[in-house]
Amino acid sequence: MSPANAKLNAFPVFMRVDGGAVAIVGNGEEALAKARLIAQSSAELRIIADHANAELLAFIATSGAVHVDAAYDAAQLEGAALAFAANGDEALDRRVAEDARRLGIPVNAVDRPELCDFFTPALVNRAPVAIAIGTEGAGPVLAQLLRARIDRMLSPSLGRLAALAASFRGAAERLPKGNRRRRFWSDFFAGAPAKAIEAGEFARAHDAALDLLASNAPAAGHIALVGAGPGAEDLLTLRAHRLLMEADAIVYDALVPEGIVAMGRRDAERLPVGKRKGCHSKSQEEINALLIELGRAGKRVVRLKSGDPLVFGRAGEEMAALREAGVAYEVVPGVTAAFAAAADFELPLTLRGVSSSMVFTTGHDLKGNSLPDWAKLAISGATVAVYMGRSVAAEVAGRLIEAGLSPDTAVAVVENASLGNRRRFHGTLADLPSLEARADLTGPVMTIIGDAVAGANFEGSEPLAAHRREDTGHESAANPADEGVEQ
């Protein structure tokens, strides 16, 4: 099962314990660890321990916990919202678990997942904000490592900011639903109120929030032309991820994986525009008009483009249209397919003494009568990254060889660069036409040509020569999934 489809065996929830009791049965370290965790809540802490060790007794004395200094009995659990069996004795832990279930109390038995109704998380506490990390008991150390990492990411003042937000919730609900209300909260948590709280100036934060409420200025639309990268979700930039989380609408191309689109806000409008070779659901003019319409409506829009928006992504046309319409925009770079393919091959795109320049092209330039300038650069030693499908492989190879590039020039080909299902091929320029007959290549194909390619790591890749075609004049039908570039 892929990570995107994995199912949780334990669903995370937050239990209300205010005004209730949490019972912990145990005398030693396990009981103390759970007591320290629960002490971060407002629950009454009931510790049932007839032979409590010194550390547990010291904790009880300073925490205000109720100490039941008696041998365990099921009646001691009554009225508790949660129960913990932390004895280190399997028979007693099982008895506590069975008693708790009979009384209708959810129970956790330390280090005995088979007895647990719930698992205790690693907790990042910024009350009233809490972040709970669980592994269903499979990796407590992993949960602690994640907790430490998240704890460093979050400001210590986050709890105070959340408390201020709670005091403004009623006033914010009087704002019009939709973009106006979302914009208030976005500016609240990322603007002047948050900065004032960070500086320890609560009164100034309160006044800044009032100013945001009083502002009647219409929301200004904003378009972010975002590079979604070659496909792997973890190659998305931090800025791209942040913008996706803030977006009111996500406009995305066909080559952008659903997993990346899903990283946006759950309630964001999702608008596929589906431009791809041989399958255009919207023309470029229609996409331009859609972006302008959304921007003028005050929406924050992420326009997701495969790879980098400035590399064969037609960003120039969209930027020109937005400028003419007076709609604000920004460009967020992404990892282009050439870089991802090179990384898959551990391939140096420039190599001292071999190649000091590189070319990005779609290969379609070779269909004219005249040889484009970049082809001349290839002959002089530049590394050429060709965003192309197998349907033009023979033409690219033939024209370059005719122009003087050696048939023995090294070639690397990657299908689905950066993804787990990528396929890698290696060979020479003379082998490249074999791609045209490969009906099994259904994903975007990236080809890199040049002497620097010889420095790649070819281990595990397939040789192109094994599939060299006998009939080099055969014409293949273009596969709509061939192109690794929006056309």
- Take residue 478 and report the two structure tokens written for it: 């273009």
Distance from first CA to last CA of the chain, Å, rounded?
33
Interatomic CA distance for residues 314 and 41, integer angstroms: 53
**107 near 130, Cβ under 8 Å?**
no
> What sign does the CA torsion over 225, 229, 231, 234 have?
negative
- What CA–CA distance (Å, rounded) separates 310 from 9? 43
Residue 104 burial by CB count (10 A; 0-12/13-18/19+): exposed, middle or buried? exposed
Contact in structure between 355 and 325 (CB atoms under 8 Å):
no
What tokens were used for 19?
A: 């005004």
Among 34, 99, 187, 275, the one annotated catalytic? 275
Q: Which residues contact 321 (CB under 8 A, 6 or more apart)?
A: 288, 289, 291, 292
Phi and psi torsions of 349, nearest 5°: -70, -25
- CA–CA separation, 16 vs 23, rounded Å? 15
HSE (side-chain half, CA atoms, 13 Å) at 414 = 32
Q: Among all chains, which residue has been given the structure tokens 């904000």?
A: 129
Sign of torsion, CA 368 374 377 379?
negative
Cβ 62 vs Cβ 122: under 8 Å: no
Distances (CA, A) of 143 to 6, 107, 116, 148, 149: 18, 20, 18, 9, 10
Q: Tell me phi and psi for residue 241, to 5 degrees.
A: -65, -45
H or E segment at 361? Answer: strand 358-361
Say which of 187, 248, 253, 308 is annotated catalytic: 253
State both tokens at 312: 């064969």
- Number of other residues whose CB lies within 10 A of the CB of residue 42: 11
In the structure encoding, which two tokens stand for residue 345, read together?
């091959």
Tracing tokens 């759950």 back to the chain, one arrives at 266
What is the maximal distance between C-alpha atoms in the chain? 95
Do 439 and 417 meet the contact criterion of CB atoms below 8 Å apart?
no
Q: Is 275 a catalytic residue?
A: yes
Rounded Cα distance between 83 and 35, Å, is: 11
Estimate the share of the chain in helix, then strand, then coil, as percent rounded to the nearest 5: 40, 20, 40
Known catalytic residues are 253, 275
